Amino acid sequence: MTTTDFTTAFYVSQSPAEAFNAINNVRGWWKEDLEGGTNRLNDEFTVLFGDVHMSTQKLVEFIPNEKIVWLVTDSKLNFIKDKQEWTNTRISFDIAEKNNQTQIKFTHIGLVPDGECYNDCSNAWNGYINGSLRSLITTGKGQPTP
């Protein structure tokens, strides 16, 4: 059984504060019309992708310019058998200065290769994290889903 959580990381020349602020602007890189708050401890927000994906996240760790963790409190993934596969997983963003750059490390704790959603979800996260979020940090413009 493989239990390695999905992780990806990238470096930018922007400051940890700029990266932190961009990550918390979830509407700017993931989903434009999400419901709820995304930038304070205990905020909760829900993303809907039609009738295919619904998930509610709660900000459970919030260390300015260093770390953000969301707990997925509810999920409904209609394209897989276990529609609640994301429920009780955690989505973590670690921010660190390394060699005069800022590293953003994303981990979806509980999204593992043995999971039914792994291939589709890791591909989607790669696009949002390495594409849209990186672009939001570096250019001020992400590519969130409308």
Tens digits of per-residue pLDDT, 133-146? 999 999 999 999 99
Q: Look at residue 111 and tell me if it is in a domain.
A: yes
Residue at token pair 């790669």: 126
The tally of domains found in the chain comes to 1
Domain that residue 125 falls in = 6-138
Q: Look at residue 124 and tell me if it is in a domain.
A: yes
Residue 45: CB atoms within 10 A of its CB come to 20
Tell me the DSSP string of 22-44.
HHH-GGGTTBTT-EE--SSTT-E
C-alpha dihedral sign at 53, 127, 106, 46: negative
- Residue range 79-106: mean pLDDT, rounded: 96
Q: Look at residue 125 and tell me if it is in a domain.
A: yes
Q: Look at residue 98 and tell me if it is in a domain.
A: yes
What's the CATH number where 60 sits? Answer: 3.30.530.20
Q: Look at residue 143 and tell me if it is in a domain.
A: no
What are the tens digits of pLDDT across the range 55-88?
A: 999 999 999 999 999 999 999 999 999 999 999 9
Under the banding of pLDDT at 50, 70 and 90, the label for residue 28 is very high
Q: Look at residue 1 and tell me if it is in a domain.
A: no
Residue at token pair 């992708």: 49
Q: Look at residue 70 and tell me if it is in a domain.
A: yes
Q: How far apart are CA 104 and CA 123, in angstroms?
A: 18
